[in-house]
Amino acid sequence: MLRFIEDQRGQRQQEDPLQGLRETPPRLSPRYFYDSLGSHLFAAITELDEYYPTRLERSILVGQGDAIARSVGPGRTMVDLGAGDCVKAELLLHRLQPAHYVAIDVAGDFLKSSLRRIEAGFPRLKITGVAADFSAGLQWPEDLECRRPLFFYPGSSIGNFSLPDARALLRSLWQACAQSDEGCGDLLIGVDLLKSAARMQDAYDDALGVTASFNLNLLRHLNRIAGADFDVRAFRHRAHFNDERQRIEMWLVSRCDQQVRWHGGHRMLRAGEAILTECSYKYSQEGFSALLRDSGFEVVRRWLDDTRGFLVCHARGIAG
């Protein structure tokens, strides 16, 4: 049983996606990585030797799946935030036994095809797909019931947000828990932990150049949706760990002096000048627990992989 909802409310229609190009340094939002090709490229990244987060998280979800299922319990509304290919939820579905699987993603068509696969594998599961952008805070679709939600936010996607923005997003999940049918809800969230800079940097600058393609595809996507005229060949990918801010930064470095035009503006870029496209914050275990607490959640249980490189937390929205 599969239903699909297109929810435009979070989409910030009025906003110019290239607004950030006017800033110093110029920046573009990582939300524009995920057109159909971008979603496929990200799926390819998760198969790279260098990109450890997916592998470590998978080892936790598979190896400790029984403990996770015991901690969470059956019959929940499992809300997959940024579901993408739905592969991580799929690892848990048979053990978690949710009453309803709600998958939310900005890339609606990609999500739809993923959900058809889930439907084939779990023919008795109630499934709802929602094409929506929840990055500025989750707004629960009006005509969708929400009983005992378990917000599933894997993949260290929370790492894309600055600390205040992460707090605001988690707070919106807390609010959705509080406003759900029984007034309570949980969170199952995965986050990448701090480790050696070299290991982290390699994960965002792989030998095959898949991450470089993923980064550059942002320009192609913006050419299409915002009438920009980026010359993709005039940029190169750069990734590095910013030690002070404890985050990986991805940049697109201009190879030459050039002018970029789009519907609504233009900007001159000098050779070597770079556009910030993504930040991926890395946490300590303590730092992440503090973030959860500050956002209204208490940690129920935590699981680490064997290398202690990745953390999965089961947290509960605190009433009040």
Q: Where along the sequence are the contacts to ligand AVJ (CB under 6 A)?
A: 45, 53, 155-157, 159-160, 204, 211, 214, 278, 280
Contact 230, 255 (CB under 8 A): no
65 touches 90 (CB < 8 A): no
Instruction: Classify 137 in phi/psi space as left (phi over 0), alpha (psi -120 to 50) or beta.
Output: left
Cα 300 off chain centre by = 22
- Nearest approach, Cβ of residue 236 and ligand AVJ (Å): 15
Task: Name the token pair of 266.
Answer: 């233009």
Cα–Cα distance, 161 to 264 (Å, whole number) = 27
The least CB distance from residue 144 to ligand AVJ, in Å, is 25
Which single residue brings its beta carbon nearest to ligand AVJ? 280
Query: Among residues 251 and 262, whose Cβ is nearest to ligand AVJ?
Result: 251
Residue 28: phi and psi, rounded to 5, are -130, 150
What are the structure tokens assigned to 121, written together? 């594998």
Nearer to ligand AVJ, 157 or 295 (CB): 157
Paired with 186 in beta bridges are: 150, 316
Please, which residues have CB within 8 angstroms of residue 19's CB and are 6 or more apart in sequence? none
Sort strands 274-281 and 265-269 into parallel, antiparallel or unpaired.
unpaired
Q: Which is nearer to ligand AVJ, 146 or 205 (CB)?
A: 205
Nearer to ligand AVJ, 254 or 280 (CB): 280
Minimum CB separation of residue 253 from ligand AVJ in Å reads: 16
Query: Do strands 2-6 and 126-131 pair parallel, antiparallel, or not at all (unpaired)?
Result: parallel
**Residue number with CB closer to ligand AVJ (140 or 281):** 281
Q: Which is nearer to ligand AVJ, 98 or 155 (CB)?
A: 155
* Minimum distance from residue 275 beta carbon to ligand AVJ (Å): 15
Cis peptide bond N-terminal to 25, omega within 30: yes
State in angstroms the smallest separation of the CB of 80 from ligand AVJ. 14
Tell me how far, at minimum, the Cβ of 35 lies from ligand AVJ, in Å: 15
